[in-house]
A and B are shown apart, each in its own frame.
Chain A
């Protein structure tokens, strides 16, 4: 077990250093967040938009920025031809969890950045219950990272990687998106934490189901 964790962390660290040196995903993600947020701010102007609607807009930014960068973990290995190298040094599941950990770290960093900018610039959006909001962001990030990692592994083998990623992700991530939007609305409406428990249960179940399915399927996806 300890050995497996060490190997997973080694793959995570490799991906982290690789990303810091190549900026494969990081630049795309940051640029996407900044440009989308700017467009939204220009569109809103002086209009007053309901905080409920802005909850949805926040998750639209997060979803599409995820789509613009998170596939890179597997796609870049495929494009550079290093997939076979990975095949020859570690078992599939260790690679999967190493990649999942990297995507999770990347998405968590991105979401903190996005939420900070959103709270700062979108003045009509104010959070009433921070406990609900932070829990939603954490569970939403976990679910998005888990879903987008396994989908990235699938589309890395396809010819039309760029277009296939959001198309394939949307139906799989839809239950997650609807739930996080609802939970974010509750946090804006200053609801009690207990009122959001139903949403959190759905998010938690979704995360467990997706992780177990990924665990079972990855070996088949990974091997040609």
Chain B
């Protein structure tokens, strides 16, 4: 049976050094929900995504995550969500395989080697799994980030500029993942790309701070 998810964002605001980035952002998503966060450069899309991921504390407002009617503490959000973003970095001095192996061990999840192989195959980096990440191209690093974000089968997938650095084949894979995730959990995408926005049910524009249902 599919789990019920409720992710509520209530009047979130963030201020850096007395400079207001955004304020009063509110929206609510249930399972099978998806939202695109848009806005010009510097409008705070990435900052909002970091707050939703529990990495950054908002200056104002609250986030609430309920899974199967159980409230998840903000410090436990990381178990429920996966994030792919340009500012997320993996360990260059380890191989792709070693990175994923470290993540599954730290997360203390029961993921077999076979599943890691499948993830690496899916993102077309299996052939390079034993190479150091520092030798990867930016596109390959982006693919590895997807493997990192999906290794624990998260309920919520947060994507910041999801198709950056990817070739046509990589973009197709990402769009397939976005579609899959929309049917299994919650998808939140920070982007200004029309193709990415098209794949989400709702849009929130940080410049106008208006939520729109498409």
Contact = CB atoms under 8 A, between A and B. Distances in A.
B102 A10 contact: yes
Given A84-B55, A88-B53, A89-B103, A7 B108 contact: yes
Interface in B12-53: 50, 53
A171 interface: no
Contact of A22 (B93, B105, B106, B107): B93
B89 A81 contact: yes
B56 interface: yes
A14 interface: yes
A90 B78 contact: yes
Interface string A92-107: 1010000000000000
A188 B78 CA distance: 52
A18 interface: yes
A108 to B, nearest CB: 23
Contact of A17 (B56, B78, B90, B94): B94
A161 interface: no
Nearest to B152: A89
B56 A224 contact: yes
A85 B78 CA distance: 10
Contacts of B106: 7, 10-11, 14, 89-90, 94
A85 B107 CA distance: 12
A16 B26 CA distance: 43
Interface residues of B, number: 27
Contact of A87 (B78, B94, B102): B78
Q: State which size class the interface on A falls in.
A: 20 to 34
Interface string B89-103: 111111000000011
B108 A6 contact: yes
Contact of A21 (B56, B89, B93): B93
Nearest to B145: A85
A18 B91 contact: yes
B57 interface: yes
Given A7-B108, A90-B106, A85 B87 contact: no
Contacts of A3: 108
Nearest to B54: A87
Contacts of B90: 82, 85
B87 to A, nearest CB: 6
B178 interface: no
Nearest to B90: A85
B1 to A, nearest CB: 27
Interface in B66-93: 75-76, 78, 81, 83, 85, 87-93
B75 A91 contact: yes
A133 B212 CA distance: 71
Q: Which of B50, B76, B78, B85 has the most CB of A within 10 A?
A: B78
Contacts of A88: 53, 55, 78, 81, 83, 88
A75 to B, nearest CB: 14
A210 B56 CA distance: 26
B16 to A, nearest CB: 10
A49 B154 CA distance: 64
A80 B89 contact: yes
A88 to B, nearest CB: 5
Contacts of A21: 93-94
Q: Which of A7, A14, A219 has the most CB of B within 10 A?
A: A14
Nearest to A88: B78
A90 B93 contact: no
Interface of B: 50, 53-57, 75-76, 78, 81, 83, 85, 87-94, 102-103, 105-108, 148
Interface of A: 3, 6-7, 10-11, 14, 17-18, 21-22, 80-82, 84-85, 87-92, 94, 219, 223-224
20 contacts: A6-B108, A11-B106, A14-B91, A14-B102, A17-B94, A21-B94, A22-B93, A80-B89, A80-B92, A81-B88, A82-B90, A82-B91, A87-B54, A87-B55, A88-B55, A89-B103, A89-B107, A90-B78, A223-B57, A224-B57
